[in-house]
Each structure stands twice: as structure tokens, then as C-alpha cells.
Amino acid sequence: MSIDLNGIGSGQVNTRRTAADQPVTPPLPASPDPAAPRVAAPQGDKVSLSSMQQLKQQLDQVPEVDDSRVEQIKAALADGSYKVDAEKLAQKMLDMDESIFG
């Protein structure tokens, strides 16, 4: 009895490769002759990390917490003027759930 899981037949799962199926790897070249002239390797794409370092420095200067906003909220909580918009909060929770679980 064979079981077909999403179009995968019994002959398609965990099949073994024979020596003829194995990829052929070329032999490694012999070690270079130290007296032979050196040929420059082809130049590929170059990556510069200086822009990433500059970005990191800029981000390091920005505070993680907006202290003035925290103080405003603390004051509003203390004097009772801080109001929560229940509909806005519920919508944000639904949006977050959608972004996580799709």
C-alpha cells in the first residue's frame, strides 16, 4: 500500500543516488609553482561597511526612549487626564494579530 502525501509518490521520498547520479567535482589543481608569475584574481563586487558604521553611529545617538513623552504620560496618569481610546486600542490589537498570524 502506498500513501500519496501532497503529490509525493512512494518512489520520490528518500531515494538513494547511485554513483552515476552524484555530481562530478573537478580535481583540485596542483599547488602553484612559487617561481611562476602570479596572475591577479578577477575582481568581484565590493561591499563597503562604512555606510553601515555611519548608520550605527547615528542610531547610537538617538535615545531608545522618548523621555519627554514618558513624562507627559506620567503626568497625565497622575492627574487623571490620560484617556484610553478603546476602539483605537482594539483596532491596533487586531492589526497586530493580523500582521503576526495573517
Characterise 19 by phi-psi region: left (phi > 0), alpha (psi -120 to 50), beta (else).
alpha
- Give the separation between CA 39 and CA 37, rounded to whole angstroms: 6
Chain mean position to CA 70: 31
Q: Which residues of 17-36 are buried (b: 16+ CB within 10 A; e: fewer)?
A: eeeeeeeeeeeeeeeeeeee
For position 68, what pLDDT does the model report?
Answer: 92
pLDDT, averaged across the chain: 77
Residue 41, pLDDT > 70, answer: no
Residue 18 pLDDT more than 80? Answer: no
Residue 62: per-residue pLDDT:
86
